[in-house]
Amino acid sequence: MAYRLASKIALITGAAQEIGRSCAELFAKEGTFVFVYDERFRDHQNIVLDIYIGI
């Protein structure tokens, strides 16, 4: 894996949903600093924990 996104910063909206969550997981696996937001889901800390625990 090339890690082209390592040390970059990404803001992922819709991170609690299917596509947004998949993007956040992919970016995190590439070494990107991921910030997540989802208007319909207020517990963003759990989203981040789930993403980084899965790596």
- Residue 10, judged by CB atoms within 10 A of its CB (0-12, 13-18, 19+), counts as middle
Q: What is the pLDDT of residue 55?
A: 67
Angle at 41 between CA 48 and CA 51, to 5 degrees: 20
């998949």: which residue's tokens? 22
At 1 the pLDDT is 54
Looking at the structure of the chain, the number of domains it has is: 1
Evaluate if pTM is beyond 0.95: no
- Domain housing 6: 1-54
Residue-wise pLDDT for 4-46, tens only, equals 889 999 999 988 888 998 999 999 999 999 998 888 777 777 8
* Per-residue pLDDT, 33: 92
pLDDT of res. 19: 93
Give yes or no for residue 51 having a pLDDT over 90. no
